[in-house]
Structure 1
């Protein structure tokens, strides 16, 4: 189970809307100046993701919850997203090379195969996302933000 903490944005009728912060993968690496991942992280303006999760327990805005998703569903979706365009790229590129015998045809076939693999992954993702095993679940719930109170006793009260 892969776990991540999120903040409740709203809760209504057994459905919680939660916000997860995007964590950059490279903040402490020694090669930050030449890192491609760092550049890609800076390009995306989105720093939070908002998702909907079922929750029978009433939640309060600002409350922290721990979300979990099965490793199998994460690996399956990653394979679908990355491998289907790659397989389409190589397969159609090879077929066009054999059929037409030119590099230009192979390049066009590879482009068509990559786009086709992407569209195939996009079509399957909606069906797979409907599976209950692929949905994130709330594993634990933190205290509401207004419940925790810390009192400091003065030295006179002791």
Structure 2
């Protein structure tokens, strides 16, 4: 599992607003603890994420939690993002090369296939986000 540190800013009706701590690789490191203790926590809006909790456990405001996601989910997402547009590019380019002899048309059709692959990846990603296995798990 890949884990990330987060702080709960608000929690109402199983909806939590979390501040995601970026670049926290070594959580047990004494240097990191020293830096956290002596620095002011500046919260900017680009690091605040709102998510709906699927578990029944309650979290407290200002509680540090860990968000975890399975490696399998990350691999499926990476495959979807990178391979689907590439397959569209090669399939459309190959089919057009078989039937057309103009290189400009082949290149334009291949780029069209890549763009359609990106749109297909977005559509599949929207359906996958509903699944529970693609949601991060909150570890207190």
Provide the TM-score with structure 2 as the length reference: 0.75
C-alpha contact (below 8 Å) 2:86/2:114 kept by paired residues: yes
Gaps of 5+ in 1: 24-45, 142-158
Task: Give 1 or 2 for the bigger CA radius of gyration.
Answer: 1
C-alpha contact (below 8 Å) 1:18/1:50 kept by paired residues: yes
Count of matched residue positions in the alignment of Structure 1 and Structure 2:
118
RMSD: 1.8
Q: Which has the higher helix share?
A: 2
SS in 2 for 1:62: coil
State the match for 1:73 in structure 2: 73
State the match for 2:111 in structure 1: 111
Aligned ranges 1:95-110 → 2 under 5 Å: 95-110=95-110
State the match for 1:138 in structure 2: 138
C-alpha contact (below 8 Å) 1:84/1:121 kept by paired residues: yes
Deviations 1:75-131 (A, max 9, x none): 101111111001101111111122111211111111111110001011111111111
The 3 A distance-change label for structure 1 pair 95 and 2 is same
CA distance in 2, matches of 1:20, 1:135: 15
Gaps of 5+ in 2: 24-44
Provide the TM-score with structure 1 as the length reference: 0.67
State the match for 1:128 in structure 2: 128
Q: CA deviation at 1:51?
A: 3.6
The 3 A distance-change label for structure 1 pair 103 and 22 is farther
C-alpha contact (below 8 Å) 1:84/1:118 kept by paired residues: yes
Aligned ranges 1:41-60 → 2 under 5 Å: 48=47, 50-54=49-53, 55-60=55-60
State the match for 1:26 in structure 2: none
